[in-house]
Amino acid sequence: MKDPIKIAITGAAGQIGYSLLFRIASGAIFGPEQPVDLNLIEIEPGMKALAGVKMELDDCAFPLLNKVVTTCNMDEGFYGANWALLVGSVPRKAGMERGDLLGINGKIFIGQGKSIAANAADDIRVLVVGNPCNTNCWTAMKNASKIPSNRWFAMTRLDENRAKAQLAEKAGVHVNEVSNMTIWGNHSSTQYPDFFNAKIGGKPAPEVIKDEAWVKDTFIPTVQKRGAAVIAARGLSSAASAANAAIETVRTLVTPTKAGDWFSVGVCSDGSYGTPAGTVTSLPIRSNGKDWEVVQGIELNEFAKEKIAASNKELLEEQAEISKLF
């Protein structure tokens, strides 16, 4: 049996946690040969519910689940972790923007960054899901300077999947036909889902969907505001689709990307495409299964450049606001 991969998950007794843990334990990220240890982290009031979640994990008798730790002590939770999935934080309610959560959630990531740096394994990689996820990721990264900046990720995969689903529906094809879907910028309503460089059935999307008014007036706002639409419909923010996106983010980072394709995730920018170096922003990424790189050479029209600039500005404003706290 291989050595287990240890995954620390915060907010493990929450909605996303409940959709996430069982799939990870059944092998959805690392495959059917790879055992996992789960370190489940909650705040004290969540510990009773977390005990119930642990009972259910036990009751699944998953062959790949080696060990489960439940704790409200971050240092214990992050100890020896190879991956940390930072989900734990407050979700927004109807009428709020995700950025409105910065004052509530932002400070959580100061302590978590420090604790990860002090306790995690040398190969730790971190995916931040809790909102506003780009800036929360930046905050944790800034408070864990000994961990290289290419190990930090913020989740925009749910936006990518939403964009692919919208394009597939409009084109009347299966979602598998949609590729090369970039989400640029912040996981907020300033994000820019890039129709112009996406492909449908291997062809440039504009050759398949020749309706620019639909792209600008329907497609882009639908993707930008999909989270709010789910909250309006469910009374709760997305959970199963968010958990699925977290799984797909990690899986695609640890799997070689199909030739010619790419995926979207928030990473620490190297300044590519005019994004401010050092911000955590969503970019087109390829992986060789171990390391990732920003895909270069994608053409951006004036419309795209304007949209990306607006998201850059918002990210810098969020960073300025949270950095007052550390």
Of 70, 115, 119, 131, the one binding ligand NAD by CB under 6 A: 131
From 26-34, 177-185, 238-246, 305-313, span contacting ligand NAD (CB under 6 A): 238-246
Q: Is 187 marked active-site? A: yes
Counting contacts by CB under 6 A, is residue 319 touching ligand NAD?
no
The pair of three-digit structure tokens given for residue 250, joined into one six-digit string: 């990690």
Q: Which residue's entry shows tokens 């309610």? A: 93
Q: Does 257 bind ligand LMR (CB under 6 A)?
A: no
CB of 50 to ligand NAD, least distance (A): 8
Q: Determine which residue in the list 41, 178, 223, 230 makes contact with ligand LMR, applying CB under 6 A.
A: 230
Is residue 92 close enough to count as binding ligand LMR by CB under 6 A? yes
Of 132, 181, 129, 118, whose CA–CA distance to 152 is shortest? 129
161 binds ligand LMR (CB under 6 A): no
Q: Which residue is nearest to ligand NAD (CB)?
A: 14
Contact residue for ligand NAD among 23, 27, 34, 43 (CB under 6 A): 43
130: contact with ligand NAD by CB under 6 A: yes
Q: Does 47 bind ligand NAD (CB under 6 A)?
A: no
Query: Given candidates 39, 191, 237, 287, which one binds ligand LMR under the rule CB under 6 A?
Result: 237
Q: Provide the binding-site residues for ligand NAD, judged by CB under 6 A.
A: 10-11, 13-16, 41-43, 46, 87-92, 105, 108, 129-131, 133, 155, 158, 187, 237-239, 242, 245
Active site residues: 187
